[in-house]
Amino acid sequence: MVAPNPHCSNQWRNNIIIISNAISQHTHFPSHTKMAISAYTSLQLSSSFRGDVLPTSLSSISPLSGGSNSRNGSVVFAKRLFGLEEAMRIQREKDLQDKKSVKKNPLKRGKVSPRLPVPDHIHKPPYAGSNKLPELSSDYQIHDSEGIAHMRAAGELAARVRDYAGTLVRPSVTTDEIDKAVHQMIIDAGAYPSPLGYGGFPKSVCTSVNECMCHGIPDSRQLQDGDIINIDVTVYLNGYHGDTSKTYLCGNVSNTMKRLVKVTQECLEKGIAVCKDGASFKRIGKIISEHAEKNNYGVVDRFVGHGVGTVFHSEPIIYHHRNKHPGEMVEGLTFTIEPILTMGSIDCITWGDNWTAVTDDGSPAAQFEHTILITKTGAEILTK
């Protein structure tokens, strides 16, 4: 079953929740008004998942009180609900204006420099040297104590490289310069930059700016004041991959963009919080979708998390949107959670390089990612 599209019924549903919650906190509204709002909210929430046709005018709902003053009460109630409808209309217009205000000049491809060399002594993954995209492994990567130690080391290095790359983010720096710095740091640590050569990917890190959802190829474009950039780092150390990403702010970023970044990070944290031995994978998508929709953001369903370990990408596939896919987590399993949220469309356009994926309406996107290890009681973040 396909999850609900967050850009159709969800924004209407979220606005109802926001306004209803706000009203419930104000004591000057009579109890019967609050009850009617609650009933209307429940109706709309259930309807939005089924596609039922319900009245969109709040004033068509009768007050839930009787007595001799019901006629006058109805007039007052209708007036108050008309004001609620107006407040919701204003909120929707404000949300739309906010999205328009953060639109920057469309991202354009810069010049991509030649691929950087890797010394012979560095241990390389099997796909290095081939432009063929490896198939997704069907095996869950469950580790013994030795494997867990290797995964911790790979995750710790990936996190250090990611954090270092983040210190380079500032206006006028090119993503190619970030790539070169990341490449050198990984090589100096005796590891291999996992993206390099994976399915022909030409660089050592993914740098996704503004409307780029993911898989941005570093190039000569300079970062601009107000940009956001996701830096996706994966290292291959002693035969194990550690995979992580974070969205950084470049210079003076608008509050609207900051909020997108903040909520995306919160979605990752909430997704991790439901993980433990025996938990179903679908809980991840459910809680991420709930938090994103509550904040009027869409969750991209095209890109997923994945198992990671000695193999870069494997089962289980981690869906970040609502889903009914079966499967449960087991102790010792490692995988990534990496939600992408957008301010507008969740659909993408892939550039001619076959990697760069941008939102089809040019709206900003943000992403965060961790590699986690499932334990009996929860999840250990290996790339913290």
Burial 106-120 (b: 16+ CB within 10 A, else e): ebeeeebbeebebee
Annotated ligand binding at 290? The verdict is: no
Instruction: For residue 23, give the nearest of 81, 72, 63 by alpha carbon.
Output: 81
Please identify which residue in the block is written with the tokens 């949107």. 321
Looking at the chain, the number of H-run helices and the number of E-run strands are: 7, 15
Sign of the CA dihedral 375, 379, 244, 362? positive
Q: How many CB atoms lie within 10 A of CB 129?
A: 8
Please identify which residue in the block is written with the tokens 């970023």. 253
Q: How many CB atoms lie within 10 A of CB 86?
A: 10
Annotated ligand binding at 225? The verdict is: no
Annotated ligand binding at 215? The verdict is: yes
Beta-sheet strands, E only, within the chain? 192-193, 206-209, 212-214, 228-237, 240-249, 298-299, 305-307, 314-318, 334-337, 340-342, 348-350, 357-359, 365-367, 370-374, 379-381
Q: Is there a contact between 239 and 310 (Cβ–Cβ < 8 Å)? A: yes
Centroid of chain to Cα 252: 22
Annotated ligand binding at 232? The verdict is: yes
Q: What is the DSSP string of 342-359?
A: ESS---EEE-TTS--EEE
Instruction: For residue 18, give the nearest of 299, 296, 256 by alpha carbon.
Output: 296
| 325 DSSP 8-state letter | -
For residue 85, the surrounding DSSP H or E stretch is helix 70-101
- End-to-end CA distance of the chain: give it in Å, rounded: 34
Q: Is there a contact between 264 and 174 (Cβ–Cβ < 8 Å)? A: no
Annotated ligand binding at 243? The verdict is: yes
Annotated ligand binding at 313? The verdict is: yes
Residues annotated within the binding site for substrate are 215, 313
- Give binding residues for a divalent metal cation as ranges: 232, 243, 306, 338, 369
* Residue ranges at the known binding site: 215, 232, 243, 306, 313, 338, 369
